[in-house]
A = this chain, B = another copy of it.
Amino acid sequence: MIRNLTEHDKEHLQEALVKSGQKVTPQREAVFTVLLAERDHPTVDEVFNRAREVMPGLSLATVYNCLETFVGCGLVRQVNHERESTRYCPNLAPHAHFRDKETGQVHDIELPPDVMKSLRSILPPGFDSEVIEISFLGRAQAKDSHSN
């Protein structure tokens, strides 16, 4: 189920790319569309397979390139858990990641400002941090998967 980009998302993509001196291409649109379609933190291969359905000639190398470009211009975040394949997340709000040990699914966990603050406060003087990564490992009750 890959819907097209909304006007808003298209502008978001275009603005970020153009702002960093890069071009909007059909491949980049396709990959970005895949990322927005499901918020399930897909791996490169998953993105590749989904995007191929709509753009059969797309190459894996290009998926790597697109995702790297998006990370570079702040459109998506990389998500790493242990040594597994890198996953990609288009949620730009500050959030942590919860990895379900059973299913492997990755869920976003909202990160309230006061928690962020208390985290920064544990840094000793002289330590200055731009990026904080928080990841949980455990089990999550099933709920349902239409969490798009």
Contacts and interface: CB of A to CB of B under 8 A. Distances in A.
A122 B127 contact: no
A127 B119 contact: no
B130 A110 contact: no
Contact of A129 (B110, B133, B136): B136
Interface in A91-122: 96, 98, 107, 109-112, 114-115, 118-119, 122
Interface in A15-52: none
Interface of A: 78, 80, 82-83, 86, 96, 98, 107, 109-112, 114-115, 118-119, 122-124, 126-141, 143
Contacts of A127: 98, 107, 109, 136, 138-141
A136 B115 contact: no
A135 B79 CA distance: 12
6 contacts: A78-B82, A98-B123, A109-B127, A119-B119, A127-B140, A133-B134
A115 B119 contact: yes
